[in-house]
């Protein structure tokens, strides 16, 4: 994957967590590998191109958000119109990820109408928040850095007017029981509930994980778009539970208090690291986590930089010992 140095924009010149806050994505990168966080935050180095699963997730989230926001009577035609417009825009802009975006829109055309059939009662909910940003001010958290996050949705069921549920959607090719079991423990659950509790008047304590499986079928040679959409929809219709699953996690008042403490402890540690990186840039703790170099979306985008020694000053390029060396002793 190519890397590019971002042109320094006024906001990018210096990452200022005291003003800009820290979000879940930054905390996750920092927990995964300090060097990854350092390159992203302080060196302004980002991925030149987003990984395909992230593009798919972005498009899927945008389409869902628009449907929940507009609450149309005929969701299928609204989706078809939105997807048509989105495709026109993608073709006009001619982005470098055009192919992935068009394929994703085709996939969503097949997937989302069945999703809305499966969860038709979603349209009876009161969607009080859609793609809504939450902030826990630093003083409320007892640290010096505010925490920010964005929830996909917050809804109220007609028969439970006093209870807000947070919805978080995941588009995934696959998931395991282990993944499902880990959702309740993840930073996202604790930090989102803590943030919602601290900043929304409704004080929610429950979160619904909305898992949507991305179909792995691809358009065949000679197949029309309509035939492809019908084939994918037939597959989804015959095994909806395979494609769509939801799980609810509830936090008690004591869990929420512990979640807030956990967030406070993490942000305090993050702040100490930030101060070290910025006050003593030559002496920062170059903590590479080699276990994280091969991630769920493929190799880390900084792998070439790290192995070549650009970051750490020593090279870790592996020399292949292929069959030409088979009859030579190892040395
Ligand atoms: S390549 Fe590995 S060590 Fe380097 S930033 Fe990525 S995860 Fe960290």
pLDDT tens digits, the chain, 331 residues: what are they? 444 444 444 444 578 999 999 999 899 999 999 988 988 888 877 665 566 777 888 899 999 999 999 999 899 999 999 999 998 988 888 777 888 889 899 999 999 999 999 999 999 999 999 999 999 999 999 999 999 999 999 999 888 888 999 999 999 999 999 999 999 888 899 899 999 999 999 999 999 999 999 999 888 899 998 999 999 999 999 999 999 999 999 999 999 999 899 999 999 999 999 998 888 776 655 678 888 998 777 888 888 888 887 766 667 777 888 887 788 888 7
**C-alpha span between 168 and 171 (Å, rounded):** 10
Three-state SS for 261-314 is HHHHHHHHHHHHHHHHHHHCHHHCCCCCCHHHCEECCEECCCHHHHHCCCCCCC
Q: Are strands 45-47 and 3-5 parallel, antiparallel or unpaired?
A: antiparallel
Structure confidence at residue 191 (pLDDT): 92
pLDDT of residue 126: 94
Q: Which atom of ligand 1 is nearest to the CA of 289?
A: 3
Q: Is the CB of 36 under 6 A from ligand 1?
A: yes
Cβ neighbours around 275 below 10 Å, total: 12
pLDDT at 160: 87
How many Å apart are CA 185 and CA 179, to the nearest integer? 10
Beta carbon of 200 within 6 Å of any ligand 1 atom: no
300 lines ligand 1 (CB under 6 A): yes
Q: What pLDDT does residue 317 have? A: 75
The atom of ligand 1 lying closest to the CA of 34 is 8
Closest-CA residue, ligand 1 atom 4, reads 306
The predicted structure's pLDDT at residue 324: 78
What pLDDT is attached to residue 142?
Answer: 93
Q: How far is the CA of 40 from the centre of ligand 1 (A)?
A: 11
303 lines ligand 1 (CB under 6 A): yes
**41 close to ligand 1 (CB < 6 Angstrom):** no
Which pLDDT value is given to residue 284?
A: 57
Tokens (6 digits) for 121: 């009662």
Whether 293 lines ligand 1, by a CB cut-off of 6 Å, is: yes
Per the listing, tokens 């209870």 go with: 163
> Ligand 1 centre and the CA of 42: distance in Å?
15
Q: Are 240 and 231 in contact (CB under 8 A)?
A: no
Is 288 near ligand 1, meaning CB less than 6 Å away? Answer: yes
How far away, in angstroms, is 113 Cα from ligand 1 center? 39
pLDDT value, residue 5: 44
CATH of domain 112-265: 3.90.320
**Would you say the CB of residue 289 lies under 6 angstroms from ligand 1?**
yes
Q: Is 187 in the pocket of ligand 1 (CB under 6 A)?
A: no
Where exactly does CATH 3.90.320 map onto the chain? 112-265
């Amino acid at each position: 994957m190519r890397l590019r140095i971002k042109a320094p924009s006024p906001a990018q010149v210096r990452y200022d967590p005291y003003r800009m806050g820290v979000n879940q994505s930054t905390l996750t990168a920092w927990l995964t590998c300090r060097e990854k966080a350092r390159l992203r935050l302080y060196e302004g180095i980002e991925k030149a191109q987003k990984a395909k699963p992230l593009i798919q997730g972005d498009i899927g989230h945008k389409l869902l958000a628009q449907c929940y926001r507009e609450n149309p009577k005929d969701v299928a035609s609204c989706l078809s119109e939105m997807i048509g417009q989105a495709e026109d825009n993608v073709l006009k802009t001619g982005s470098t990820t055009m192919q992935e975006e068009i394929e994703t829109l085709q996939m969503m055309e097949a997937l989302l109408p069945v999703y809305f059939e499966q969860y038709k009662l979603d349209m009876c909910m009161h969607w009080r928040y859609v793609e809504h940003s939450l902030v826990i001010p630093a003083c409320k958290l007892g640290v010096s850095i505010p925490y920010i996050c964005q929830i996909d949705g917050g809804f109220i069921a007609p028969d439970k007017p006093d209870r807000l549920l947070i919805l978080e959607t995941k588009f995934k090719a696959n998931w395991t029981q282990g993944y499902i079991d880990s959702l309740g423990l993840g930073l996202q659950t604790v930090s989102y509930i803590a943030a919602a509790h601290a900043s929304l008047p409704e004080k929610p304590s429950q979160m619904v994980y909305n898992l949507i499986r991305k179909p792995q079928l691809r358009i065949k040679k000679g197949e029309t778009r309509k035939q492809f959409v019908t084939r994918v929809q037939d597959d989804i219709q015959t095994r909806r539970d395979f494609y769509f699953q939801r799980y609810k996690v509830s936090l008690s008042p004591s869990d929420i208090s512990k979640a807030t403490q956990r967030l406070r402890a993490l942000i305090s540690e993050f702040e100490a690291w930030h101060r070290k990186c910025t006050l003593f840039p030559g002496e920062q703790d170059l903590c590479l986590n080699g276990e994280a170099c091969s991630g769920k979306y493929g190799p880390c985008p900084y792998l070439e930089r790290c192995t070549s020694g650009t970051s750490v000053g020593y090279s870790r390029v592996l020399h292949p010992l292929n069959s030409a060396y088979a009859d030579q002793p190892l040395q």
